[in-house]
Amino acid sequence: MMSEESAISALLEMRADACRVKDVDRLIALYAPDVVYYDVVPPMRFAGLDEARRNFVRWFGEYDGPIALETRELVVAAGVDVAFAHMLHLDSGKRRNGLQTSIWVRSSLGFRRVGGRWLITHEHVSVPIDPRTLQAWLPPEG
């Protein structure tokens, strides 16, 4: 299924590009109407395009200028109509408070092909939690 894996990789590139320039319309067009989104921030899940879109707008608003998204350790598994992918992302940019920040997150996505077109039906983004402090854990080195 190499061609379907290429299609998923291309979709992931479009997703990263849309995030980079904070184009919420281009980004949300990649998601299915019944998307279920587990994000780094509360609540437990966002359901549907309206909730996902509002959450993207919130995220974009935290940055002053573009958001750089670097992808590492990408794995794509694609069948005929169902696919998933997982990767590490380094999100970098200038925050509204002027500070330049970089954060590593883990990202998992589920896809379905509907009417010949792949759409993201599930996304899960998180950072680990230090069990001693219950605080977000950041890896020692990018």
Footprint on this chain of its own copies (rule: CB under 8 A):
1, 36, 38-45, 73, 75, 77-84, 86, 88, 104, 106, 108, 110, 112, 121-122, 124, 126-131, 133-137, 139
d(CA 56, CA 69): 14
- Tell me whether residue 26 or residue 94 sits nearer to its own copies (CB atom): 94
Extended beta strands in 7-95, E state: 31-38, 46-47, 68-78, 82-94
- Tell me whether residue 18 or residue 37 sits nearer to its own copies (CB atom): 37
Least spacing, CB of residue 82 vs its own copies, in Å: 3
Contact assessment for residue 89 and residue 73, using Cβ atoms and an 8 Å cutoff: no
- Tell me whether residue 16 or residue 40 sits nearer to its own copies (CB atom): 40
Q: Which amino acid is at 22?
A: K
Least spacing, CB of residue 110 vs its own copies, in Å: 4
Spell out the residues 6+ positions from residue 126 whose beta carbon is closer than 8 angstroms to its own: 38, 40, 105, 106
Least spacing, CB of residue 59 vs its own copies, in Å: 10
Least spacing, CB of residue 105 vs its own copies, in Å: 9
- Tell me whether residue 33 or residue 128 sits nearer to its own copies (CB atom): 128
What sign does the CA torsion over 78, 81, 86, 91 have?
Answer: positive
